[in-house]
Structure 1
Amino acid sequence: MSQRVVRRIALPMIGLGLVLSALGIAAAWNVHKQQNISSELIAMEVSGVIAIEELHLEMREIRYQINLFLRTQNLNHLVEVARAHDAADELLATAKSLARADQEQELILKVERGYSKFFREFQTLSEKLPASKENSAAMNQRVEISPELQSGLTHLSDEILTDEVLLPLKECISVNKQVVARTNAASQMTAQHLKIGFLLLGLCGGAAGLLMGTVIARAVGQSIVQLDISVRGVAGLLPELLGPVKFSRVGDLEGLEAGLKTVEENISSMVERLQQQEIEILRSEQLARVGQLAAGMAHELRNPLMPMKMLVQAALERKDGEGLKGRSLQIIQDEISRLEKSIQAFLDFARPPIPVKENVAIQDIVQQAFDLVSARANSQAITITLEQPLEHVVLCVDRHQIHQLLLNLILNAMDVLPQGGDIIVSVTPLRLLSPEQSNSSTPSPSHDFYDISEHQAMRIHRAPSKTEMQQVLDWVSLKVTDSGPGIPLESLDKIFDPFVTTKETGTGLGLTICQRIAASHQGTLKAANSPTGGAVFSVLLPCLAS
């Protein structure tokens, strides 16, 4: 089974397992948290109950000691009451701090008021005892107390202590027990809910796993069937070339994998055959180009040879024995020159010379070409306008090749203006975003150019950012524009192909050689028709001055 199929099955199951594990961990953490809360609540309630119970016992002990004193009139019993006072203070403070319910807090406050009242009056009555100002040795002796003092102590024991302290304490004990019972019931309810939750989690987890397994099985089965059908469809296209491909029943993973391996082997074999055929096609194209070159060369050589042959035959047929002279020799010389130019053009096309680059101002090359064609321009009533920056633009180029390129473009423009016209030769420095920014090593119409002639940063498409201004390359645009009829639309796309020409005596290699010269200088040559009429040939060269 392929790793892709394994991943499609394993990943959803792992995801489901992680989800269920996360739910289990969350549930366990919740159980632990609820258990801690319940334990803390129960511990607080139990501590409160214990504190109130002990306080209740201490207050009953105080009442018992007062009753003993009333019967025996022994001062030692009052000393025990004073000692129990300190323990009762601590227990009351503990019970007050642990009280949570509103009813419990109210009862504790009531006990606290009765408790304070009891000990204030007890302190007042104690000061009236006869032995209160004697030494401690008299504490074990019986003392005579007045009826008023006996009535006050009886009132403290039977009314204040019993009604205002012990009875509220009993009620508080009852309330505490009820709170503990409710807390225990809530804890049991929480445990019951958690038990039900874990049970549902187990049932839902199993059901979810079963459902997920069913869905995954259906999805994988459908994918296998679709893949099997696709592979069978591809295999159906191969038998004519490579023979039949056998498969087992639909949905069989092992058979599908074996079929895929067979298809892969057959496709590899077919790719090798296609590569071999591609090599043969390239050879055929090369032979066709050679044949085209030979045919073009034969045509160009036959044209000047025909008048030369006719002149020679005419001279041989003459009976006066005179040879060629005068106009006939001039014609032969002209045709020989034409042959030389054609042969040189073929040599330049078949074996382009390697450019010998040097630093040169493009204005010098333009001026040299203008000087060469100015006489012919005057004779044809052609006005040639030069548009170039005042400062020299230095390029690292082959002077002779760029001169040949520009001269060829100007002469072509003059050939389409036999009745006169205008030719504009313009030189414009440009700034182009760097290849790192444009992901291209050569300019294209989609690049952003900036005209910087005459020290002006005139925006052409959009203003560059500061970073873009730091990463630019300088280029030079050289354009030759004429006012002629323009390039026929059917020839515009193939104007730079070999042996394509619109002139009756042209070889069709001039523009091809010009484009090759531009490419050898990491530049481009483009042709287009001007919206105002005429043709525009644009040469774009990089400023790579060394």
Structure 2
Amino acid sequence: MAFKHQMILKVTMPSILIAMTLLATSFIGIRSMNRLQERRDSIISEHVARLQLAQDLETHMRRIRLHSLLYIMEPIPERRDKLMNDQAAFEKALSALRETVVSPTEQDLIAGIDKGYQEYLVDLKQSVSSPPTFAISEFMKWADSHPIKHIVNLCEEVLNENRASMKQTTEETREKTTRTRSWMVVLGVVGACGGLIGGFGVAWGLSRVITRLKVRLQDVHAHLDQEVASLRFTAESGDLKNMELQVGKIYDRVRIIVDQLQRQERDSIRAEQLAAVGQLAAGIAHEVRNPLTSIKLLVGAALSQKNSGGLSETDLKVIHEEVVRVEKKVQALLDFARPQNMDVRPTDLVELIYQFTGLIKSRLQQQKVDLELDLPDSPVMCKIDSDQFKGLLVNLSLNALDVMPSGGEIKIQLRTEADGSLELDMCDTGPGIDPLVIDRLFTPFVSNKPTGTGLGLSISRQIVQNHGGTLTAFNQPEGGACFRIHLPKAFAGALKHADTSSRR
């Protein structure tokens, strides 16, 4: 099922990406066209409104011109009322047009109309107070030469300016619409081509996947049985369902083989453990038999000497030493099988190391082994079981002394890491750890020494792990073995950082 989902996702993802891209682009294009249309409608509406106001302005001015002439010729209330109505309508149209014009040309024309209109009002007032005494023909000539005619011309110019602006806006909008449509056509063509290319890429990718599956199954043929090898894909196959079924069969078969291998591995480990137990039993029997033989000989000799006074003091010392030897071997086995409870307390690790060196001082002097200490000047507090940790250090140092019977050097270094953890290294200049044993050095019953039982390092690692740390071993490039103890910050406690110095 997982293979099917991955295959479907791999096949459909490019198509989904292309479709989403086209959808987003189309949405943006439609949105742009709608905004362009809305803007065009808004601009046209503004131009139409200004055009209507300009037409009204010209119409009212022509009516004012006519009614002014009639009122001057015959100043009666009826003609005066018509003129005043025309003036009010003209002023209203002029005020509305003044608020809508935006171009500098139109603003100049409106200013000219307003100025001429004010001059007309002054002239009208003078003409009404002292009307000219002309004949009809003379009145017509006077009307043609009157300044109000220039205002009419300005109104016509405003009207023409709005018509030209509206025409220009319409042309610009038409050009933008044409460009947008062209881009939509290009987008459609590019989208179709992208779909074809994407489909080809998906098909090519599927072909490569199927080919790789075939190659891998041919490799399986060289490692598994004929039943698995008979399940193959063909590069031309396009049936994903059949492909999934075949892969499922291979998975089931391989899982069976892996289970068999795991069972065999467990059986092998169990056999190794039984062999190790046998070796342990042989080693314990050897270690216990030798002391018992010595005790048996001494007791037998004492029994055969009927007239003697029994065992001498020397014989009793030998028997005691051999009994202690047997006790140590049995205690080591018990410590491994049943670890002691931890008594964790805040401890100065620097002071503990100095105490430990006192325990092995005589052995160091006997074998002429130098001890180099690289420890912090200030106390390093940590939460450990001091007795177990001291025993751990003694065990590691005795192992180092065993491989340097003719002298050498042991170096102990304690340092604080940046994250607050502690690292303690104990290195020697001995022959190092056998490469054949180093990977299994901490495995129970595995020893690097001919006389060892293989429990000391296992117990040591168990002690460190109980403190939340790790114990590792490696060979140094310059020679000799090194054991590293790492304690995390939780067990390191409140540490006091200080410069390190070498001490002997």
The 8 Å contact of residues 235 and 245 in structure 1, kept in 2 or not, is answered as: no
Post-superposition shift, 1:117? 1.7
> Does structure 2 retain, via aligned residues, the 8 Å contact 1:342–1:507?
no
Q: For the structure 1 residues 73 and 385, does the alpha-carbon distance in structure 2 shift closer, same or farther, using more than 3 Å as the test?
A: closer
Q: Return closer, same or farther for 1:520/1:332 CA change in 2, 3 Å cut-off.
A: farther
**How many angstroms apart in 2 are the aligned matches of 1:392 and 1:215?**
64
Structure-1 residue corresponding to 2:271: 284
Q: Is the 8 A contact 1:518 1:525 kept in 2?
A: no
> Residue type matched to 1:518 in 2?
I
Provide the rounded CA distance (Å) in 2 between the counterparts of 1:238 and 1:204: 50
8 Å CA contact retained: 2:217, 2:232: no
Deviation, 1:347, is: 5.5
Cα distance between partner residues in 1 of 2:4 and 2:276 = 50
Q: Which runs of 5+ in 1 are unaligned?
A: 130-144, 431-448, 451-460, 465-471
Equivalent position SS for 1:206:
helix
- Indicate the residue corresponding to 2:207 in structure 1: 221
Q: Give the equivalent residue in structure 1 for 2:460.
A: 515
Higher relative contact order (CA 8 A, sep 6+): 2
CA distance in 2, matches of 1:179, 1:361: 93
Tell me the TM-score normalised to structure 1 length. Answer: 0.67
**Which amino acid in structure 1 is aligned with residue 270 of structure 2?**
R
Larger displacement relative to structure 2 (102-111 or 386-395)? 386-395
State the Cα deviation string for residues 314-337 of structure 1 (Å, max 9, x = none). 999xxx999999999967973784
Higher mean Cα deviation, 94-103 or 354-363? 354-363
Amino acid corresponding to residue 214 of structure 1 in structure 2: F
Q: 2:72–2:127: 8 Å Cα contact kept in structure 1?
A: no
What residue is the counterpart of 2:260 in the other structure? 273
The letter of the residue matching 2:173 is: S
**What runs of 5+ residues in structure 2 fail to find an aligned partner?**
494-504
Structure 2 Cα separation of the partners of residues 68 and 491 of structure 1: 133
Whole-angstrom distance in 2 between the partners of 1:199 and 1:376: 95
Deviations 1:273-311 (A, max 9, x none): 111111111122112212322443454456567888999
Residues 256 and 61 of structure 1: CA distance in aligned 2, closer, same or farther (over 3 Å): same
Q: 2:211 & 2:369 partners in 1: Cα distance?
A: 76
Of 118-127 and 320-329, more deviation after overlay is shown by 320-329
Structure 1 residue 207 and structure 2 residue 207: aligned?
A: no
Question: Secondary structure of 1:355's partner?
Answer: coil
**Which of 220, 225, 249 pairs up with 1:239?**
225
- Counterpart check, 1:128 vs 2:145: no
- Structure 2 counterpart of 1:107: 109
Match of 1:12 among 14, 35, 41: 14
Say if 2:340 is the partner of 1:355: yes
Structure 2: which amino acid aligns with 1:487? G
Indicate conservation of the 8 Å contact 1:45/1:176, yes or no.
yes
Partner of 1:36: 38
Query: Aligned pair 1:489/2:432, yes or no?
Result: yes
Q: Does 1:185 align with 2:171?
A: yes
Matched, 1:157 2:159: no
Q: Does 1:334 align with 2:318?
A: yes
- Aligned residue pairs total 478
Deviation of 1:169 (Å) = 2.3
- Name the CA distance, whole Å, in 1 between partners of 2:368 and 2:190: 98
Q: Distance in 1 between matches of 2:63 and 2:378?
A: 122
Contact 2:369–2:408 (8 Å) recurs in 1: yes
Deviating more after overlay: 44-53 vs 259-268: 44-53
**2:231 aligned counterpart, secondary structure:** coil
- Alpha-carbon distance, 1:159 to partner: 2.0
How far, CA to CA, are the matches of 2:123 and 2:48 in structure 1? 33
Structure 1 position 104, deviation (Å): 3.6
What's 2:500 paired with?
none
**Aligned-pair CA distance for 1:121:** 0.8
1:355 partner letter: Q
Point out the structure with max Rg over C-alpha.
Answer: 1
Distance 1:258 1:423 in 2: 64
User: Equivalences for 1:352-501 in 2 at 5 Å?
Assistant: 352=336, 353-358=338-343, 397=385, 399=387, 449-450=415-416, 461-462=417-418, 486-490=429-433, 498=445, 500=447
* 1:481-525 deviations in Å (ceiling 9; x for gaps): 9xxx8422245975777574668xx54558447626734753666
Distance 1:195 1:346, change over 3 A: same
Could you give the per-residue CA deviations for residues 388-447 of structure 1, whole angstroms, max 9, x where no partner exists? 999998976485x667656666777887898999999x9x9x8xxxxxxxxxxxxxxxxx
Tell me: CA distance 1:270–1:91, structure 2 relative to 1, closer, same or farther (3 Å). same
Q: Distance in 1 between matches of 2:174 and 2:357?
A: 109
Percent identity (aligned): 22
- Secondary structure, counterpart of 1:2 in structure 2: helix
Task: After TM superposition, give the deviation of residue 182 of structure 1 in Å.
Answer: 2.7
Deviations 1:353-385 (A, max 9, x none): 441555789799999989988899999999999
Asked if structure 2 preserves the Cα contact closer than 8 Å seen for 1:249 and 1:255, the reply is: no
User: Structure 1 4/501 Cα, relative in aligned 2: closer, same or farther at 3 Å?
Assistant: closer
